[in-house]
Amino acid sequence: MTSTSTLPDGSATRTAAVRLSGVTKSFAMGRESVEAVRGLDLEIQPGEIVAFLGPNGAGKTTTIDMILGLSRPTTGTAEVLGMAPRDAIARGLVSAVMQTGGLLKDLTVRETVEYTAALFADTRPVDEVLGDAGITEIADRKVAKCSGGEQQRLRFAMALLSDPALLLLDEPTTGMDVEGRRAFWSSIRRDAETGRTVLFATHYLEEADQYADRIVLISHGKVVADGTGAEIKSLASGRTLRFTVPTPDADAFARIPGVDGVEVRGETVILHTKDSDAVARHLLTSTDARDLEITAKGLEDAFIALTGDAR
Ligand SMILES: Nc1ncnc2c1ncn2[C@@H]1O[C@H](COP(=O)(O)OP(=O)(O)OP(=O)(O)O)[C@@H](O)[C@H]1O
């Protein structure tokens, strides 16, 4: 499923599944223009499972649309498997599972996949993709009777028909309950073990952490962090100390060794630090601080700290 290209010295390199170079995308809104993507550089290798994590309006869907060839970058270039996105799509190398649409309620699950298969010259067997998507048991159920999670697994089965090298999922589990989400991801995970590249957009930090090999955090159309879930979490490895003091002096707290950030809200002070023991000791012995609470930061805090978006 992976392709290679040859360097001038004769050695072969694997072609990136996705390569975005300096991509921007602006939309005209009357006289104004909205910069949805503001200079994105990204390379995804074959077989990677990558989460595109970002708040509403970060530019995830706009970027996925460009990778799918549905729109073109305003500047910069988007390449899929070494070719223009539209060429990769035309060769059946890319499939997508979008959030809504595309299903006829009166058909059964199997009929939906069969009719979709009839649109292609050459596809994987219908029973095989139903099995991979974990919907063999509901193959004779009408689409109208399927839950949101089952409908998403049906879209996933349809996306597998062409045996794509790259699978794009735009917030695939929106609206699913915990069990539906778990079942959906175990289908994706099993399938990805065959070496398929998967890129999914999500708002859910835990989902990105749990199912992706790599998280690309985007905000305001730019990559703000790129790494494993553990690396992204380590960006927020510090602690938060919250306490009260009669007349807080933010500058004085900022000068305490080890303090990375200070927020003052009335008599309440919040300090961010990677050395909570030393800072706590200093607060309790050398200042009027009382009611001290120490909490660990999670991925949610990393997200807010890195993107500046308190959602
Ligand atoms: N066709 C369009 N015309 C004008 N503005 C657009 C268009 N498409 C997207 N935008 C704007 O571009 C920005 C990025 O939108 P995009 O849908 O890519 O974000 P997103 O990260 O996918 O958000 P969400 O998580 O809400 O789906 C937003 O400010 C959005 O309003």
Question: Could you count the other beta carbons within 10 Å of the beta carbon of residue 133?
Answer: 27
Residue with CA at minimum distance from ligand 1 atom 2: 27
CA dihedral over 128, 130, 133, 138, signed as positive or negative: negative
pLDDT in tens, 149-159: 889 889 999 99
Q: Which atom of ligand 1 is nearest to the CA of 63?
A: 18
27 CB near ligand 1 (under 6 Å): yes
Domain 16-229 class in CATH: alpha beta
25 CB near ligand 1 (under 6 Å): no
Does residue 274 or residue 62 have the better pLDDT?
62
Give percent of the chain with pLDDT exceeding 90. 55
pLDDT in tens, 93-135: 999 988 777 789 999 999 999 999 998 888 999 999 999 888 9
Residue 27 C-alpha to ligand 1 middle, in angstroms?
Answer: 9
Residue 62 C-alpha to ligand 1 middle, in angstroms?
Answer: 6
Please state the pTM of the whole predicted model. Answer: 0.77
pLDDT value, residue 311: 42
Ligand 1 pocket mutation, candidates 33, 37, 61, 68, criterion most atoms within 8 A of CB: 61
CATH number for 235-307: choose from 3.40.640.10, 3.30.70.100, 3.20.20.70, 1.10.3430.10. Answer: 3.30.70.100
Query: Where does CATH 3.30.70.100 sit in the chain?
Result: 235-307
Query: Where does CATH 3.40.50.300 sit in the chain?
Result: 16-229
pLDDT value, residue 120: 82
ipTM of the complex: 0.96
Chain-centroid distance, C-alpha 114:
30
pLDDT in tens, 186-222: 888 887 888 899 999 988 878 888 889 999 999 889 9
pLDDT value, residue 284: 94
What's the rounded Cα separation, in Å, for the pair 65 and 155? 17
**301 to each of 45, 204, 271, 297, how far by Cα in Å?**
28, 13, 13, 6
pLDDT value, residue 272: 85
Average pLDDT for residues 53-61, to the nearest whole number? 88
Residue 18 C-alpha to ligand 1 middle, in angstroms?
Answer: 21
Q: Are 112 and 143 in contact (CB under 8 A)?
A: yes
Closest to 59 in 3D by CA, of 223, 248, 244:
223
151 CB near ligand 1 (under 6 Å): no
pLDDT in tens, 214-246: 999 998 899 988 999 888 777 667 788 999 999
| Residue 85 token pair | 């996105």
120 CB near ligand 1 (under 6 Å): no
Q: Mean pLDDT for the chain?
A: 87
Q: Which atom of ligand 1 is nearest to the CA of 54?
A: 21
